[in-house]
Amino acid sequence: MDDLKTRTWSQIQLDREAPFEQGTTLDLFIEEDNLIRTYDLLLREIDWSIWEDTYELQKGQPPIKPFYIAGLLLYGISERIRSSRDLEKATRMRLDFMWFLEGQTIDHSTICKFRIKFESQLKDLSKQIKIIAQNLLGGGKSYSTDGTRIRSNSSRHGARTAKSIEKKLAELDKNLATNLEKMAIQDTLENPQKATIEDLNNATNKINKQKEVLEKAKKVAIERDIVKQKKDGKKAKSVRVPVTDPDSSIAKNKDGGYAPNYTPTTVIDNDTGIIMQSDIPEGSNESITVPNAVIEIEDILGIKPEELLFDGGFKAGTNLEFLDMNGIQAVAPIFNTENNPAIRDDARIAVLESDYEQLPLYGKSLDKSAFIYDKEDELYLCPMGQEMLLSKTATKKVNGKDVKIQYYTAQNCADCPLAKQCLVKAKNRTITRDEYECYRDKLAEHMKNGGNKTYKKRAPNSEGGFAHIKGNLYIRQFLLRSLNKVRIEWEWICSACNIRKIARYLTI
């Protein structure tokens, strides 16, 4: 064992109570290749005038420049620091934050207000970052879009139906009436206790706030019940609404289970990985974001995308029509056209018995791609060559638009050798065709001629982007409540991802 008295220890470099030596600066503590230096350079390329013009500089203490607070939020997200209190702590404790802010400290209330105050300015900041990325990294032709689920700031156990909310409101009304009665009694006393009146007044205010929250949730629950009843009829179950954030919806998590969620979407440049557009739709219908995404990208870059890759969740006919009308190639999985024995020279001749097992399936029954449409005679032909004539026409709402749907039904399916593969409960098979079928046919042709190879780019970009946000940045729940505020928070998150990607590129 060595002699402790003779052991040599490292020497302290700075005396805590002594001033820094001459020549020692905060800059010396930040490495030359530290990302915060690149963040600083990038953010100084941004035009902050539309932020600064909103400030009143004549009253009170001089405000901190928006450059610093916005940079704090963006860098904080990339460093897994999101809450206002944790960011305030970082301004006092972490050298990289102190270096960027040049010694300024920012209290959590200022950070909290700033985060949600500048919605239009944040959009402009996001746009400038994307333009910088496009100028540095290129891209701008091929994009992938997808959606995910991120928890809302609401307890899954606090979700209620309209009926249960009504019951809770009745209880609060009863408690409110009791408090008002007690307050009236106190007013009639010669020596009313001031503390008692204040307590009753505080309790009454608390009840009124609870009522306000429940009334909003009740309104949302009733609206969603009406929509569900139109879809499912009289057997529709009552919708449960998260009371603390009724703008969110109880939905299935990507990793299992159900919880109050939002469904944020992104459109990512396939060549650069930059998030060129982000959104959060009302409810969980992510497909409605496509038209607005294309418009926003064209506004940012001045050119339309050449192709857009997406999965089945975005494959609504309205989207296929919109993309086709704007000269944008849709790339998405479509009904099977490869090695499909139903696609034959003469569709009126039955498929060979040896090919029955090769017919495409959707679940346990034959897929629609096993039925061939005859444009000249305006009818479908089943795998056995039987004609399926138009039986009825109906109208259905698709992404807010009335869509005409035609139903083609076969006859005498009972004795068909494919009946077990083809029929589910119904006696005769029915195929539907709407006004967007021609766009699906175009998509199928494109996928057959090379589109399937292009589609392989989608998962690494879209799903990889969400994996980074959830896995690396630990963003699995929003901090804010209400759809508008959550959209602002999502814009901050996506902008933080973009600026970090640019900073890493420049640092490397």
Residues 6+ apart with CB under 8 A from 375: none
Output the pLDDT for position 188.
61
* Domain boundaries of the chain, sorted by first residue: 24-117, 156-244, 353-436
Output the pLDDT for position 496.
96
**Whether 382 contacts 359, CB under 8 Å:** no
Output the pLDDT for position 81.
96
Q: 315-334 pLDDT, tens per residue?
A: 888 999 999 999 999 999 88
CB atoms near residue 415 (< 10 Å): 6
Output the pLDDT for position 500.
94
**445 alpha carbon, distance to own chain's centre:** 31
Residues 6+ apart with CB under 8 A from 492: 73, 74, 77, 115, 122
Measured CA to CA in angstroms, residue 52 lies from 55, 100, 108, 307, 328 at distances of: 6, 19, 20, 38, 38
Output the pLDDT for position 337.
59
Output the pLDDT for position 477.
93
Amino acid identity of 345?
A: D
How far apart are alpha carbons 117 and 480 in whole angstroms?
13
Amino acid identity of 233?
A: G
Output the pLDDT for position 293.
95
Residues of the chain with pLDDT under 50: none
Asked whether the CA dihedral 25, 27, 32, 33 is positive or negative, the reply is positive
Amino acid identity of 266?
A: T
Q: 397-443 pLDDT, tens per residue?
A: 776 778 889 999 998 888 899 988 898 888 899 999 988 988 988 99
